[in-house]
Structure 1
């Protein structure tokens, strides 16, 4: 059905298990993901009562910073690294979160198809979201419309509501991380390595990185696991109620995993994010230099899936 959410038109996918709210005018953002039986909102909600639609190239922090935005073809603002578009600026958090999408809402099938095109770069990104039982499947296809290879980073910028009872669920073979957040003092400067989940801060304090600190910690963390996530899953558990949100995806197409936490440190916000991604580390220019960017051959397509399951 159609509705309104914080002043914007909204499309609702809903069944007995889940209620999803998409904003077709706002990059087709997933603004809300609610478990019907418990009423739990899994996505972080900002305090804004009305949302404004960002213009192309906007700074991400100047706008909503909640829910699930698509990030493509880079996370950090940077120049495109190579080929015919070398030096062309990619905006903060990429292009597509602040671009208009062509949206087709098939209510009877609990399905939303969204398509976005760039005016600067040669791609068409298509996402089909389908709700079935306690799962939502996001199927992605990106087409390179040019005669040159195209490189990119994609990640789901899905900010999750959290509390001190929230724990990360990570495959056990992932046991080392590298910090990439410059404002993080307790984990050291960019590139500092830590064992996961148990480590020591640079001040010598013991830390469990799988846990969520209270908002009073006033810190931020962003780290990447140093090994590919060959298991193709990750998730969170709210240990007070034992509710879980699990991501599953193609480990071959989406090999890397990052984690973001703002425990009161960024604008006072309190949220975490699991960020399966096609390249590292946040910056497409860097990813190209270290040969960790995803690539699409000329006139070709790449496809991948992300499934979110609420348990």
Structure 2
């Protein structure tokens, strides 16, 4: 295993760590986002870049005004909304949450990169520790600490934008047979809350196969059932390469997919999004008892493992 090295990434301090088969580069000042996930064995860069200058317009700015690239954290909400419960009732939750647009603290300790941030409008801290659990597996351990005297409900989802390529395939646990639409740019899948069968929601559409870049589709959907096993995989049948997520279903019980085939910003990318709640809007998730909750003064822990091959 290699140690973490500090470097410059488009004018920002960044940390790169890895093994002989895999490396990741994290930019603490930009939400501790990952801007590179490289399969060193094959030279394949998995994370998508918009080509925009790296950066954002600061706390609570629209995500679309940022570089939109790489792998961000979405927390404590996803869509902009208003927190519905006391003692924070009426407080706004920014677009894509708080933490993606905040500067995190970061420190390398041996084989670990430790990153942490405090909430702005809500009393919490979020910590994550990057390590490599094997030569081709990145592990991220998360700890959410509630610094208040009241329970705090939240949504967290990973937001890794992968480079899409026509014909790539998505695999999910076989028990997942239905999706619920959060967003569909041209309403191909329907409107918010509409349910469709997976993977064939209608004739001529197979959601498990990446579509060409020339389309006008952009869609976000959640699988309706809670996961029994936390995993999903995106593979390239041409090269035989793949990236696979594994995570604890009892702590991260939902799975969402963002597929952009030119319908949003003209971009072409694909995201697998393990999530602690459903349907992007925190208030909506709370009303349906589909948000996670950390007790007063308590901690909520989970992890992601990402394997490349």
> TM-score per shorter chain, which class?
over 0.9
Q: CA deviation at 1:66?
A: 1.3
C-alpha deviations, 1:193-247, integer Å up to 9, x for none? 21111231xxxx4211101111111211111111112111111001111111110
Contact 1:26/1:54 (<8 A) preserved? no
Give the 3-state SS of the residue equivalent to 2:283 in structure 1. helix
Matched length: 304
**1:3: Cα distance to partner?**
1.5
Which residue of 90, 93, 102 corresponds with 2:105? 102
1:19-58 alignment runs, 5 A limit: 19-48=23-52, 50-58=53-61
Q: CA RMSD in A?
A: 1.1
Partner of 2:194: 192
| Map of 1:139 onto structure 2 | 141
Partner of 1:177: 179
Q: 2:298 aligns with which of 294, 300, 304?
A: 300
Q: Match of 2:155?
A: 153
Matches within 5 A, 1:257-272: 257-272=255-270
Q: Give the aligned partner of residue 120 of structure 2.
A: 119
Match among 243, 246, 249 for residue 247 of structure 2: 249
Query: Quick one: distance in 2 between partners of 1:158 and 1:34?
Result: 13
How far residue 182 of structure 1 moved from its aligned partner, in angstroms, is 4.4
1:86 and 2:84 are equivalent in the alignment: no
Q: Does the 8 Å contact 2:56/2:67 carry over to 1?
A: no
The answer for unaligned runs of 5 or more in structure 1 is: none
Q: Give the Cα–Cα distance (whole angstroms) in 1 for the partners of residues 184 and 89 of structure 2.
A: 26
The CA distance in 2 between the partners of 1:179 and 1:121, in whole Å, is 28
Cα distance between partner residues in 2 of 1:155 and 1:99:
16
SS at match of 1:206: coil
